């Protein structure tokens, strides 16, 4: 994975992780999305008492990016707490795939554990109407 300023993406994900609203699971997630034109857009998870209305950090970042006029993305960094880095859930993978299957994905923990993927590895058979 080259051409991506991973330290900047990681810093943005870490900064927004602290803003996560997770009173039910206490699972705080931060995500930083790199747009095709080099802008970093971050998002955190926001839980709800009904659980079904919860929005993951990755989707929060995508929705904020789309609202800001971005439809092409190069990479995403996702930070979770725990011994091993968590990967995006299935819904987030499908939402990300809507904008390109070659997205670079870095999952990491604040303690330094990392795992890197292409989105196509995480969701090899994404649904599409195209």
Catalytic residues: 58
Tokens 């993951």 correspond to 56
Tokens of 82: 């725990």
Q: Which of 15, 123, 121 is nearest to 77 (CA)?
A: 15
């Amino acid at each position: 994975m080259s051409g991506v300023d991973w330290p900047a993406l990681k810093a943005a994900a870490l900064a927004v992780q602290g803003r996560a609203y997770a009173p039910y699971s206490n699972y705080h997630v931060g995500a930083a999305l790199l747009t095709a034109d080099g802008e970093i857009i971050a998002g955190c998870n926001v839980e709800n008492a009904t659980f079904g209305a919860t929005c993951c950090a990755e989707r929060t970042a995508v929705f904020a990016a789309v609202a800001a006029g971005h439809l092409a993305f190069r990479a995403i960094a996702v930070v979770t707490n725990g011994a091993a880095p968590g990967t995006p859930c299935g819904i987030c993978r499908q939402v990300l795939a809507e904008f390109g299957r070659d997205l670079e994905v870095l999952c990491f923990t604040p303690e330094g554990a990392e795992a890197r993927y292409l989105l196509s590895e995480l969701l090899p058979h994404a649904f599409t109407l195209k």
